[in-house]
Amino acid sequence: MSDLMKQSPLGTYVGHLNKGELAYQVCKDDGKAFFYPRAVAPETGSSNIEWRVSKGLGTVYSTTVVHYKGEAPLNVALIDMDEGYRLMSRVEGIDAMDVRIGMRVKFKTHPGDEKNLPYPVFTPAGDVK
C-alpha cells in the first residue's frame, strides 16, 4: 500500500479490514453515520468526522441474484448496519436464492490478494436480534 493510500480514508478503511474490522465514519456535526469512507461528510460537507468500528451486525434491506453464464448464481444485497448506515455486499454461506429481506447477518472480511483489496461480506447471523 502506498504512503498516500495509508493516509487516505480508503487506506484507513482497508487497514481496519485487514484487522478483521468493519470501520465506518460519523459526522460529528450532525451525528449521522455514513459509508463508503470519504474526506467529508456527504450531507453536511463537514470534515469534522470520526472513525468507528462496527459491531458487525445488520439486516438485509434488499437482495437480488445475478446469473452469469456458466457460473453459480451470485447474491447482491444492501445491508442496513445496526449503527445506521447501509452498504452493498453479499451474503455467503447459503444459496443465493435463500437470502431474504429482513434476514439478520454478520460481517466477515473477504481477504484481498495482490490484485484486489479486502472487502466486507456477510453470513447469516441466525437468531441474533
In a domain, 129, yes or no: no
The total of other beta-carbon atoms located within 10 Å of residue 53's CB is 12
Give residue-wise pLDDT tens across range 45-92. 999 999 999 999 999 999 999 999 999 999 999 999 999 999 999 999
How many whole angstroms separate alpha carbon 83 and alpha carbon 111? 23
> Cα–Cα distances in Å, from 79 out to 87, 96, 115?
5, 15, 25
Q: Classify 105 as helix, strand or coil.
A: strand
Instruction: Provide the number of structural domains found in the chain.
Output: 1
Flag whether the pTM goes above 0.75: yes
Write the CATH number for 29: 2.40.50.840
CA angle, residues 77, 111, 67, in degrees to nearest 5: 35
In a domain, 76, yes or no: yes
In a domain, 38, yes or no: yes
Mean pLDDT of 102-126: 93
Instruction: Note the Cα 61 to chain centre separation in Å.
Output: 13
Q: Which domain holds residue 67?
A: 3-124
Residue 101, pLDDT > 80, answer yes
In a domain, 33, yes or no: yes
Grid coordinates standing for 100? 431474504
Q: Is 51 in contact with 25 (CB distance < 8 Å)?
A: yes
